[in-house]
Amino acid sequence: MLMGLCQSDLDAIAMSDKNQYKNSKMIDREIEKQSKVMPPQKLLLLGPGESGKSTTLKQIKILHQSGFSDLEIEERKYVVFQNLFSGVASILEYIDKHKYPLIGNEVSEAREIFERYAATKVNYALEEIPIKVKNAILILWKDKQIQLAVSCRSEFHLSESIIYFLENLDRIAEPGYKPTYQDILHTRVPTTGVVKMKFTAKNIDFEVYDVGGQRSERRKWLFVFDNVDAIIFIVAVSEYDQVLKEDATTNRLYEAIELYRSIAASNYFIDTSIILFLNKKDLLEAKVGKVPIKNYFKDYEGENTFEDGIRYFRRRFDRATVGRQKRPYFHVTQATDTRQIEVVISCVLDAIIQENLKDTGMV
CATH of domain 10-49+190-358: 3.40.50.300
CB 287 within 8 A of CB 313: no
Q: For the chain, what are the domain ranges? A: 10-49+190-358, 70-186
Using one digit for the tens of pLDDT, what is the confidence trace for 29-79? 655 665 566 788 999 999 988 899 999 999 999 999 989 999 999 999 999
**More confident call, 216 vs 261:** 261
The predicted model gives 276-300 an average pLDDT of 96
CATH fold of 70-186, please?
A: GI Alpha 1, domain 2-like (1.10.400)
* Of 210, 229, 342, 355, catalytic: 210
Using one digit for the tens of pLDDT, what is the confidence trace for 130-140? 999 999 999 99
- Please give the backbone phi and psi of residue 104, each rounded to the nearest 5 degrees, phi first: 105, 145
Using one digit for the tens of pLDDT, what is the confidence trace for 76-121? 999 999 999 999 999 999 999 988 888 889 999 999 999 999 888 7
- Residue 214 annotated to the active site: yes
CB 137 within 8 A of CB 114: yes
Using one digit for the tens of pLDDT, what is the confidence trace for 165-204? 999 999 999 999 999 999 999 999 887 778 899 999 988 9
The predicted model gives 198-213 an average pLDDT of 88
Residue 170 is labelled as binding a ligand: no
Rounded to an integer, what distance in angstroms lies between the CA atom of residue 46 and that of residue 243? 19
- Residue 336 annotated to the active site: no
Beta-carbon contacts of 334 under 8 Å, excluding residues fewer than 6 positions away, are 279, 280, 281, 282, 340, 341
The predicted model gives 281-297 an average pLDDT of 96
Residue 344 is labelled as binding a ligand: no
C-alpha 281: how far from chain center: 10
- Residue 183 annotated to the active site: no
Residue 190 is labelled as binding a ligand: yes
Same topology for domains 10-49+190-358 and 70-186, yes or no? no
pLDDT given for residue 217 in this prediction: 59
Using one digit for the tens of pLDDT, what is the confidence trace for 246-266? 788 899 999 999 999 988 988
The DSSP 8-state label assigned to residue 195 in this structure reads E
Residue 87 is labelled as binding a ligand: no
3-state helix, strand, coil in the chain (%, to 5): 55, 10, 35
pLDDT given for residue 9 in this prediction: 47
The predicted model gives 223-244 an average pLDDT of 89
pLDDT at 209 over 60: yes
- Residue 111 annotated to the active site: no
* Of 214, 285, 307, 311, catalytic: 214
pLDDT given for residue 27 in this prediction: 59
- Residue 55 annotated to the active site: yes
* Of 50, 255, 350, 355, catalytic: 50
Mean pLDDT of the chain: 86
pLDDT given for residue 271 in this prediction: 85
The H-assigned helical ranges of 218-276 are 252-265
Task: Choose among 129, 50, 36: nearest CA to 88.
Answer: 129
Task: Choose among 50, 44, 43: nearest CA to 214.
Answer: 50
pLDDT at 6 over 80: no
Residue 211 is labelled as binding a ligand: yes
Rounded to an integer, what distance in angstroms lies between the CA atom of residue 173 and that of residue 80? 11
pLDDT given for residue 57 in this prediction: 96
Residue 187 is labelled as binding a ligand: yes
pLDDT at 347 over 70: yes
β-pairing, 41-46 vs 230-236, is parallel
pLDDT given for residue 222 in this prediction: 65
* Of 30, 34, 145, 188, catalytic: 188
